[in-house]
Amino acid sequence: MFYHDKELQYKVKVDKPNPVFARMLQQAVGGIEGEIRVCLQYLFQAFGSRGPSKYRDMLLETGTEEIGHIEMLATAVALNLEGAPLSLKEEMAKDQAIGAVMGGMDVRHILSSGLSAMAVDANGVPFNGSWVVGSGNLAADMYANVMAESTGRLLATRLWEATDDPGMKDMLAFLIARDTMHQNQWLAVLEELGGPTGVHPIPNSFPQSEELQQYSYAFMSTSINGETAPGRWTSGPSIDGKGEFSVIQGKPAGQEPKLAPPAPKGHAQKEQMSTFDNIIDKAKDVLG
Does the pLDDT value for residue 56 go beyond 50? yes
Decide if 24 contacts 162 (C-beta within 8 A).
Answer: yes
Alpha-carbon span 273 to 12, nearest angstrom: 67
Mean local confidence (pLDDT), 275-280? 62
Does the pLDDT value for residue 97 go beyond 50? no
Decide if 243 contacts 211 (C-beta within 8 A).
Answer: no
Decide if 126 contacts 119 (C-beta within 8 A).
Answer: yes
Q: Can you give the pLDDT at residue 167? A: 98
What are the φ/ψ torsions at residue 247 (nearest 5 degrees)?
-120, 130
Whole-number mean pLDDT of the chain?
91
Percent of the chain whose predicted confidence (pLDDT) is above 70: 90
Strands 236-237 and 244-249 turn out to be: antiparallel
Which range has the worst mean pLDDT, 18-32, 109-123, 199-213, 261-275?
261-275
Cα-based distances in Å from 140 to 235, 236, 256: 25, 25, 35
Does the pLDDT value for residue 94 go beyond 70? no
Does the pLDDT value for residue 36 go beyond 90? yes
Does the pLDDT value for residue 281 go beyond 80? no
Annotate the chain with three-state secondary structure. CCCCCCCCCCCCCCCCCCHHHHHHHHHHHHCCCCHHHHHHHHHHHHHCCCCCHHHHHHHHHHHHHHHHHHHHHHHHHHHHHCCCCCCHHHHHHCCCCCHHHHCCCCCHHHHCCCCCCCCECCCCCECCHHHCCCCCCHHHHHHHHHHHHHHHHHHHHHHHHHCCCHHHHHHHHHHHHHHHHHHHHHHHHHHHCCHHHHHCCCCCCCCHHHCCHHHCCEEEECCCCCCCCCCCCCCEECCCCCCEEEEEECCCCCCCCCCCCCCHHHCCCHHHHCCHHHHHHHHHHHHC
Residues 110-129: tens digit of each pLDDT: 889 989 999 999 999 999 99
Residues 177-201: tens digit of each pLDDT: 999 999 999 999 999 999 999 999 9
Structural domains of the chain ordered from first start: 19-197 (1.20.1260.10), 208-249 (no CATH)
Alpha-carbon span 208 to 205, nearest angstrom: 9
Mean local confidence (pLDDT), 148-174? 98
Q: Can you give the pLDDT at residue 42? A: 98
Does the pLDDT value for residue 62 go beyond 80? yes
Residues 69-83: tens digit of each pLDDT: 999 999 999 999 998
The residues with which 221 forms a beta bridge, in sequence order, are 249
Q: Can you give the pLDDT at residue 225? A: 85
